[in-house]
Structure 1
Amino acid sequence: MLLQYKCPNCGDDMTFDSETGTLLCHSCGRQENIENFDEDLISTTFSEGEAKEYHCHNCGAVIITDADTTATSCGFCGAAVVLADRLSGILAPGKVIPFSISKDEAIQAFKKWCKNGRLTPKGFMNADRIKNITGMYVPFWLYDLNNRVKVSATGTKVRTYTRGDYIYTETQFFDVYRDINLDYVKVPVDASEKMVDGMMDKLEPYHYTDLKDFKTPYLAGYIAEKYNYNDKELLPRVKSKIQRFIDSYISSTISGYSTVSYKNKQIDTKKMKSVYALFPVWMVYYDYDKAEHTFAMNGQTGKVVGKPPISMAKVGMWFGGIAASTFIALKLISLALGGGLW
């Protein structure tokens, strides 16, 4: 089923506006509260199953999507459409963080980010080669996890003292036990096979105060993907993701020892709850030096991640500056200690 949201004033299509958090008609300026939007104003076109072909209700053009797309726009008239049949049943998201950064704001934020690159080429820093920027809702699973941790270790305390002409080292050994109950809530893991996991991880954190119950109008005007991996399939990854936090917490409870040697560390992680959510991401495609560079921006906070090109000339100057500073510092130290000229 294809959904389009019609303006009650002029009948034109409405899209989600990140600034006001409402459905906005760009023709007459009318705004509609998403929670109270009249369902009679939703234009629907039905299709069967997982068809990749839809017909735009505005112009009749055929909209071609892949099987994972849940929201897109008509390539002919630009109408925002939501593919509702791909958002039902087990594919229905529970939560969504709406976009709070508009396309224009995203472009300006990206240009500012480019100019802050100390080691990027001058041409890249101009930030005038944006090929395309796309607002996309990326599927995530949010996990509530309970961790029962049991640890046994040997700790030592070393004391050195002098008695007469002798220096003594005294080492005491202690048995250390810990039985810890740890809860982590709303741990995010992206569920799209198209997104690079490392890039999506670096976009964190998202602020969960903006989490809203999912409603399809939030997707109007943006691209959205459905999940490729369910919560059971991604459970090993989320366990791996919190491992370093658990290790850090364990270490924080074992302090005051000179050394700690672990004999046994048992971590039993159980999923208490999982929620399917959509998070906002601006994908930026940037042309530089005959190559396309891909960056991602958190559509809520504006954080940018990606690998910009590096200017080897700037790298050389940077290391040269460090070497010169080190030489001068050593020279001054030498003179202060009475050393001669080199």
Structure 2
Amino acid sequence: MTNDALTPPPFPEADDRPTAATAGWGEDTAAVERGRCPVCGSSLTFGAGTSALVCDSCGHAVEITHGDDESVSEHSYEQWLAGNRGYQVASIGGQVLACDGCGASTETKDIAGHCQFCGGNLVAAENPEGIIPPEGVLPFLIDSRGARENVKSWVRSRWFAPNALKQVGDTESIRGTYLPHWTYDATTTSDYTGQRGEHYTEKQGDHEVQRTRWHHASGRIRNTFDDLLIPASTTLPRNRVSKLGPWTLGAVKPFTSEYLIGHSAVRYDVDPQAGYAEAKQIMDDEIRADVKRDIGGDEQRIHHIDTTYSQVMFKLILLPIWIATFMYAGKQWQVMVNANTGEVVGERPYSVPKIIAAVVVGLVVAGVVFWLYNRS
């Protein structure tokens, strides 16, 4: 986490943490707000695969509840854009995160993390003016132990991996983080003109030659796009993040900062306009494929497509990722685990001796086959 300004923790005046004798269910709400266990006062962490905050020390659980009126809302992109012309998230400063343990404050562009003084939880209470707050969060379903097992299985399944790499397991460091993503919905109407090609054959001497007869084609197609997912952060390599999907977006919960306790979370640095441009490219590619299907025939030529986009909606959601790092040959390697589905994507070293051995064996086998063929 990048710290722009640090304020050391104040000296504690008194220990007012509740004890097992005084804590009760009525105090759980306040405990959730400050990220501390109402029984022993230790740090709470969101329990992967549950709907509760769990105490790191005594195991006490505090359920995260949602009101009947809470939902994952979407915003009209056109209305937002009309009031935010020239918007750039890069021009917005950081926010102050306060430690739930020692009280230290940190100004940063992250929205959750860990205190460098005591290791306590840091969660943003308020967003700077202009920042779009998350509407939804996909909670961690796989815990750190499950993520480590997935990483070990992934490592052992790699072809030409060095033998020493097979030992990677509980020794690698692993941390959980939420990565922001935009989702976009839209209804499109596309008018097109083009040509439909139909194959036929004609005889030329002793041979038959395939020809194509072209016919004018035009039409209109309609599409509905729902929850097109666009990474809203450049913190991690975009090409690897995109391979972590698909995500079970139906399990997204209305956002509350309690889900972030015990994990880090970065703020988005991709503006909604840039995200929408990426989403439109995905829409356009699908529209083009649909136009070709609508034209039909054996071949298609598209001359022009005129698309109208309407009912464009968007929202910001946070998706959970485990990031594992390990050292090999003096270099740090990074592996990411989808904490929702278990999908693993990452870097890996290759064993040059194994590759050379495989090439040599291949050449020997090819040589033996060639010799046997010549003998026969």
* TM-score of the pair, normalised by structure 2: 0.74
Matched, 1:186 2:227: yes
Alpha-carbon offset, residue 316 of structure 1: 3.4
Question: In the alignment, what sits opposite 2:306?
Answer: 266
Secondary structure of the residue that 2:119 maps to in structure 1?
coil
Question: In the alignment, what sits opposite 1:26?
Answer: 56
Contact persistence 1:135–1:280 (CA under 8 A): yes
Contact persistence 1:130–1:284 (CA under 8 A): no
Contact persistence 1:4–1:81 (CA under 8 A): no
Equivalent residue in structure 2 for 1:304, among 344, 347, 362: 344
Over 3 Å counting, the alpha-carbon distance change for 1:328 and 1:241 in structure 2 is: farther
Matched, 1:253 2:253: no
Secondary structure of the residue that 1:91 maps to in structure 2?
coil
Contact persistence 1:130–1:287 (CA under 8 A): no
Equivalent residue in structure 1 for 2:112, among 71, 90, 103: 71
Question: In the alignment, what sits opposite 2:35?
Answer: 5
Residue type of the partner of 1:14?
L
Alpha-carbon offset, residue 144 of structure 1: 0.6
Residue type of the partner of 2:195?
T
CA–CA distance in 2 between the matches of 1:53 and 1:171? 67
Alpha-carbon offset, residue 287 of structure 1: 1.1
Matched, 1:56 2:99: yes
Higher alpha-carbon deviation: 81-90 or 185-194: 81-90
Residue type of the partner of 2:40?
C
Over 3 Å counting, the alpha-carbon distance change for 1:284 and 1:180 in structure 2 is: same
Secondary structure of the residue that 1:302 maps to in structure 2?
coil
Number of residues paired by the alignment? 321
> Which sections of structure 2, spanning at least 5 residues, go unmatched?
1-31, 68-91
CA–CA distance in 2 between the matches of 1:145 and 1:130? 46
Question: In the alignment, what sits opposite 2:328?
Answer: 288
Over 3 Å counting, the alpha-carbon distance change for 1:110 and 1:79 in structure 2 is: same
Secondary structure of the residue that 2:273 maps to in structure 1?
coil
Mapping 1:232-247, distance limit 5 Å: 232-247=273-288
RMSD: 3.2
Alpha-carbon offset, residue 68 of structure 1: 1.5
Question: In the alignment, what sits opposite 1:341?
Answer: 375
Identity %: 24
Alpha-carbon offset, residue 224 of structure 1: 0.9
Matched, 1:158 2:199: yes
Question: In the alignment, what sits opposite 1:41?
Answer: none
CA–CA distance in 2 between the matches of 1:232 and 1:238? 10
Contact persistence 2:195–2:301 (CA under 8 A): yes
Residue type of the partner of 2:329?
D
Residue type of the partner of 1:106?
A
> Which sections of structure 1, spanning at least 5 residues, go unmatched?
38-48, 335-339
CA–CA distance in 2 between the matches of 1:320 and 1:269? 57
Mapping 1:176-215, distance limit 5 Å: 176-215=217-256
Contact persistence 1:4–1:80 (CA under 8 A): no
* TM-score of the pair, normalised by structure 1: 0.81
